[in-house]
Amino acid sequence: MANVAVVGAQWGDEGKGKIVDWLAERADMVVRFQGGHNAGHTLVVGGNVYKLSLLPSGIVRGTPSVVGNGVVLDPWALKAEIERLREQGVSVTPDLLMIAETCALILPFHRDLDGLREDASGAGKIGTTRRGIGPAYEDKVGRRAIRVCDLAHLDQLEPQLDRLTAHHDALRAGFGEPAIDRAALVAELREIAGFVLPYAQPVWRVLADARARGKRILFEGAQGVLLDIDHGTYPFVTSSNTIAGTAAGGSGMGPGAVGFVLGIAKAYTTRVGSGPFPTELEDATGQRLGERGHEFGTVTGRKRRCGWFDSVLVRQAAAVSGITGIALTKLDVLDGFDEIRICTGYQLRGETLDYFPAHAADQMAVEPMYETIPGWSESTAGARSWAELPAQAIKYIRRIEELIQCPVTLVSTSPERDDTILVRDPFAD
């Protein structure tokens, strides 16, 4: 039985939460391996809606869940999310949730800096969630982060605080903000430490033991490949590597542990925030996609930009992330369109491209080349087998497979977890 890594194959918001929840029933453990509480995973279980930002999606099903070392952790956001789930009847105990001792913490001044920078950026705004993710990763790489394990040694925190304040106080002064109140920060950390530390473990050992016993591990990515710090639409990206290869480093397991890579892609394309978007539709069709797909960000509440499926981007995402198969979501949103268009290439200053260029100016300048295919009038909503899909919807899926050079292994036809067509079981490989 293979382990499975789930990654977004577009700009995030592809419906990973539902797919991970669906797969979690078949998994023995679920692992978050990058990002922070800027993820937005919505699960619909038995008519109840659960919105997760930091916790692995398997937590709702009672599947043992791990927050890996590649995640940056806001301890106060963690507490709020656990308490919110408790109000919905989900008890998150240390037996169910394990957090890597080496996770870097997101602290209040990281959130401050995130917002100050964004407000000062003018036309250069990235579209950050203002939750301190980027600044926390900067401190991690700068070797000045406070980590989960430090919460058990707050009396020995002075060297880290010296490094942190030397860096951040200068930045804050540039924005006209006061220096970090070290005593207040330590007091806040002491107050939250008792909540966080019971969940802290050397999770690499837990995962190594699970693998040795043949347990099925599900690695849950956040955001999408097109937001990867190296492979995405830089600088309009997140602050971590979102590709499947990060599952190894961000969990403490070797690359051989990753197994099947399932990429999640909508049957059309959406994006939240700034940045290039070749197939964006700023017309009635784009409005229709947004309304039918309920396209509002789980974390930010921002309206998502909508456009036709871009096979060039998904093919590129599949290549750089080693995607084995695609889970195609929200097929039902396309019901009733007379015609559907698929981007098959780009024109850039008279040149035809079959890939997305690296430079932001070129990314903004490309013009999509479309192939138009007939739509379908029948409903696909709630379909659970190929036999329930209109013939033209199946043709659309097959054409996508040809263009992205990757098979479709799952099809999602509504937010309900069981409204899923399984073509190939990722865990069976």
Residues with a known catalytic role: 13, 41
- Tokens matching residue 376: 């379908």
Rounded Cα distance, 148 and 39, in Å: 20
Contacts of 257 (CB under 8 A, 6+ apart): 3, 207, 211, 217, 247, 248, 251
Task: Decide if 238 contacts 71 (C-beta within 8 A).
Answer: no
Which DSSP letter does residue 125 get? -
**Residue type at 226 in one-letter notation:** L
Rounded Cα distance, 35 and 225, in Å: 12
Task: Decide if 400 contacts 408 (C-beta within 8 A).
Answer: yes
- 264 burial type by CB count under 10 A (0-12 exposed, 13-18 middle, 19+ buried): buried
DSSP string, 155-187: GG-HHHHHHHHHHHHHHHHHTTPPPP-HHHHHH
CA angle, 43 as apex, 280 and 49 as ends, to 5°?
A: 110
β-strands 367-374, 339-348 pairing: antiparallel
Rounded Cα distance, 50 and 84, in Å: 9
Strands (E), 279-362: 305-307, 309-310, 325-329, 339-348, 351-353
**Residue type at 398 in one-letter notation:** R
Ramachandran angles phi, psi of 182, nearest 5°: -60, -40
Task: Decide if 127 contacts 274 (C-beta within 8 A).
Answer: yes
Nearest to residue 197, comparing CAs of 68, 58, 98? Answer: 98
The crossing angle, in degrees rounded to 10, of helices 158-174 and 182-196 is 120
Structure-derived torsion over alpha carbons of residues 322, 20, 231, 297, reported in degrees to the nearest 10: 160
Rounded Cα distance, 220 and 147, in Å: 22
